[in-house]
Structure 1
Amino acid sequence: MAAICVFCASSRTLDRRWLDLAAETGAELARRGHTLVSGGGCVGMMGAVADGARSAGGYTLGVIPQALVDLEVADLASDELLVTDGMASRKTLMIEKSDAFLTLPGGLGTLDELFEVWTTATLALHAKPMVLVDADGFYRPLIDWLQTLADRHFLKPAGLGLLTVAPTVRSALDALDSRLT
């Protein structure tokens, strides 16, 4: 089984449906025998995905910078919690510890993580699969803009093709599983 890194929102003010989506994601990862790699937080979707994984018997690995530990938002229930000195080293360690990446709805931090992983893939620094979950069309405007970048030659079609877009958690995990075997 694989270590799947999930990028998602850590906001405390999200609609319940997003928290449920994250919990479903964690539980489905665990049912498939995968390890969850997360940003190590206990709030928002990040906390919900970890709780969902543990509720289904999954193993959770959190990676969190000391500054967020100091703010008391660390997922202390993680099976393994790695503390870094900053956000950049957090992303680097998350990439190193993961076999694949799944992006759920989120804000700037989520997009930063997605683009870091995607950019390093376009530079052939890794060949790990990446799937974006476009639940309820959440990412449709971003996907359209990225296509415009490709149409205008700011993004190579091969680079655009490195990111798989899926409408549901189940189809996203099916896509990851097919690339991991």
Structure 2
Amino acid sequence: MQILRNTESMATIRNVCVYCGASHGSDPRFTSEARALGLSLAQSGVGLVYGGGGIGLMGEVATAVALNGGHVTGIIPEFLISRERAFAHDAELIVTQDMHERKRLMFERADAFVALPGGVGTLEELVEQLTWAQLGRHSKPILVLNTDGFWDPFLKLLDHMRDTRFVRETNPVNLLMARDASEVLPLLRAAVAPLSDEALDTPGDAEAVARM
């Protein structure tokens, strides 16, 4: 049986969903790398999809995209508008009824996912995308921007899960890692490049693509 794919949509990074904190954190590099990522997205013509807030690293990424001529899509639940101060620059702002609708729309509008430093909300969003990918529900690349080793404890936890056989080679967790913002788009594009190959011939191959 031949499995056909929309290779154009799979192989192109048009919009990147960025998960990150609503605060700046303790390290000034968190802020500078967030700004650098926003600039990189704008200069590359890649749109930003994010949580819609105007504070913390969220606001830094979105401001850098907007001020450099990029497209920003902010998706924020109504109850967070006053708490996180909806983004004030030129952007497409979508207000949702709840967090579930927010996450669904962020997923649908993104071709890849990047997690910057953040708190439990950022971690939850990252792990959800990893879970869906592991279950074969999507093949969009997922990456952490590991500024000054912020994500090292999480990466070690994943290694521990593999060592104790809760994550197996037959059902892997595939997570890309960049050390600075300049690496993000090249890594994402390299991850989707294999998906532009010709159509697959067997269901087994299709399953392999879902695990990438």
TM class by shorter chain equals over 0.9
TM-aligned CA deviation for residue 168 of structure 1: 1.4
135-144 or 45-54: which moved more? 135-144
TM-aligned CA deviation for residue 76 of structure 1: 3.5
The TM-score with structure 2 as length reference comes to 0.80
| 2:49 paired residue number | 37
Alignment partner of 2:116 out of 93, 104, 115 = 104
Identity of aligned residues (%): 38
**Letter of the aligned partner of 1:19 in structure 2?**
T
Equivalents in 1 of 2:15, 2:137: separation in Å?
18
Alignment partner of 1:91 out of 103, 106, 113 = 103
TM-aligned CA deviation for residue 162 of structure 1: 1.7
Work out the number of aligned pairs and report it.
181
The answer to whether the aligner puts 1:156 opposite 2:168 as a matched pair is yes
CA RMSD of aligned residues (A): 1.7
Secondary structure of the corresponding residue to residue 71 of structure 1: helix
TM-aligned CA deviation for residue 161 of structure 1: 4.5
CA distance 1:176–1:13, change in 2 (3 Å): closer
Whether the aligned pair in 2 keeps the contact of 1:146 and 1:160 (CA below 8 Å) is no
TM-aligned CA deviation for residue 157 of structure 1: 3.4
Secondary structure of the corresponding residue to residue 176 of structure 2: strand
Structure 1: stretches of 5+ with no match in the other structure: none
TM-aligned CA deviation for residue 117 of structure 1: 1.0
TM-aligned CA deviation for residue 78 of structure 1: 4.4
TM-aligned CA deviation for residue 22 of structure 1: 0.8
Whether the aligned pair in 2 keeps the contact of 1:50 and 1:60 (CA below 8 Å) is yes
CA distance 1:155–1:15, change in 2 (3 Å): same
Equivalents in 2 of 1:43, 1:72: separation in Å?
6
Whether the aligned pair in 2 keeps the contact of 1:41 and 1:62 (CA below 8 Å) is yes
Secondary structure of the corresponding residue to residue 75 of structure 2: strand
Higher relative contact order (CA 8 A, sep 6+): 2
The answer to whether the aligner puts 1:53 opposite 2:38 as a matched pair is no
57-66 or 148-157: which moved more? 148-157
| 1:136 paired residue number | 148
Larger radius of gyration: 2
154-163 or 110-119: which moved more? 154-163
